[in-house]
Amino acid sequence: MHGTPALSTGSVTLRNARVPGAALGRVGSGAVETVDIAIVDGRIAAIRPAGPAPVAGPSHDLDQGLVLPCLVDIHTHLDKGHIWPRKANPDGTWLGALLAVQSDRERRWAAEDVERRFDFALRCAYAHGTAAIRTHLDSAPPQHEISWALFETMRERWAGRIELQAVSIVGPDTLVSPAELDAVARQVKASGGLLGGSVAVFERSKEAMLAVVEKAGELGLDLDLHTDETGDPAAHALLHLAEAVLETGFTGKVMAGHCCVLTVQDERTVRATIDKVVEAGIAIVSLPMCNLYLQDRQGHGGTVRTPIRRGVTLLNEFKAAGAVVAIASDNTRDPFYAYGDLDGVEVFREGARILHFDHPQDAAWDWLRALTSAPAAHAGLAYRAVIAVAPPPISSCSAPGTGPNSIPARRPTASSCVPAGRSTRRCRTIANSTT
């Protein structure tokens, strides 16, 4: 949207804006409403049904353009980001990515290096209109001391622009090592973070999940884990996580990412896992772009074949069962995902295509909550990610149409955010480029 008046001071009314009901905090709504949004000194003062009557004071006609909250990217890896130019994935596989990152981390991840890439990633996200990010931090000792200290600095530096949370990520061997897990967990506690790790096919999977849940309970930490990021049906980490939560009576928040294996397991296992996840109150986050890129890739020995599976989890089924669901960017320009720019609109667009949440059409816009209010509420963010009187700031871009396929159909043609200060940035206006 070009020519938008400054929004941080004075008064202006954004007329003829189209706002999904989901963006207004209406759970389950696929409707899109036409409204006028009155802004006073950078705050939304009123939201009224659009009408032909003139409005008092300055106004800007959005011509039926979409207005969305700024987005929440609930699963990222800012410490890994942008190492691809110096450390590419040799074969495109998950194992290739793991080994490449490990090699780069051991040789290059001094505080200055991580800070430079971390800050660049945040500037990209901010330019695309993201208001809150949760990042996983590689925390295998001794990296935990470097990365968590840096995170605290970046959280303070970016306060008022992007709300930041961080989660530890360690391998399963660390989770079953009491001394190592305790060291990581105490660093997380000191830095105000969440406890996490990554488990897929691991013979001590149940033990690992019980250990991390008990440690989180001991220290009063919430949990966010990578589970079953594999196409091997022998993986049951998500089920073991849910069982551990229920067996221990853990009362903190729990999120599980990836959960790819469910697409290759039998129906009985799938049903049992989903039911346990819902009973345990675990939120599920799918990473559609990264999973599509890595999963079902066979690149060993120089051979390449066309993938058969998309790699994403059963997100529609989780939502239908009552779980809190989200989608997010995951990795950006590193060995786990060679592309991306921490652009929430890209995630929403590709998510619709990959996960098929564009149907039924009359309910499709409810999925906007998977990048806004649903993860914001689960994560306990100060930023609520809804358009309402008083709280949200404003930013802008442009895209064709306002139907549920408008963003998936074409990238917004002008993706510049209105530099209007803290209190006027947390929604995006997406103006029509076609009639």
Query: pLDDT value at position 117?
Result: 98
| CA atoms of 254 and 250, how far apart (whole Å) | 9
Query: pLDDT value at position 428?
Result: 55
HEC assignment per residue over 217-248: HHHCCCEEEEECCCCCCCCCHHHHHHHHHHHH
Query: pLDDT value at position 51?
Result: 86
DSSP letter, residue 6? P
Placement of tokens 């989903």 in the chain: 274
| CA atoms of 194 and 221, how far apart (whole Å) | 6
Asked whether the beta carbons of 227 and 199 are under 8 A apart, the reply is yes
Placement of tokens 């917004």 in the chain: 412
Query: pLDDT value at position 298?
Result: 80
Per DSSP, the residues of 247-297 read HHT--S-EEEEE-GGGGGS-HHHHHHHHHHHHHHT-EEEE-HHHHHHHTT-
Say which residues have a Cβ less than 8 Å from residue 285's Cβ, sequence separation at least 6. Answer: 74, 75, 255, 256, 257, 325, 326, 327, 328, 375
Q: What separation, in Å, do the N-terminal and C-terminal C-alpha atoms of the chain show?
A: 15
Query: pLDDT value at position 85?
Result: 97
Instruction: Answer yes or no: pTM beyond 0.85.
Output: yes
Q: Is 120 helix (H, G, I), strand (E, B) or coil?
A: helix
Instruction: Tell how far CA 35 is from the center of its chain.
Output: 28
**Domain ranges, ordered by start, for the chain:** 11-69+386-431, 72-342
| CA atoms of 423 and 434, how far apart (whole Å) | 30
| CA atoms of 241 and 276, how far apart (whole Å) | 9
| Domain boundaries 72-342, corresponding CATH code | 3.20.20.140
Q: Is 191 helix (H, G, I), strand (E, B) or coil?
A: helix
Structure tokens at 140: 């295998």
| CA atoms of 369 and 68, how far apart (whole Å) | 10
The set of catalytic residues is: 229
CB-based burial label for 360 (10 Å; 0-12, 13-18, 19+): exposed
Across the chain, which has 435 residues, the per-10-residue mean pLDDT values are 56 94 94 94 91 86 93 98 97 94 96 97 96 97 94 98 98 97 97 98 98 98 98 97 98 98 98 98 98 86 82 97 98 97 96 96 96 98 93 50 63 44 47 35
Containing H/E element for 345? helix 344-355
CA angle 136, 137, 141 (to 5 degrees): 145
Q: Is 56 helix (H, G, I), strand (E, B) or coil?
A: coil
Structure tokens at 98: 């793991």
Query: pLDDT value at position 421?
Result: 37
Asked whether the beta carbons of 273 and 317 are under 8 A apart, the reply is no
Architecture field, domain 11-69+386-431: Roll (2.30)
Residue 26: HSE in the Cβ half-sphere, 13 Å Cα cutoff = 12
Closest to 156 in 3D by CA, of 192, 109, 210, 204: 192
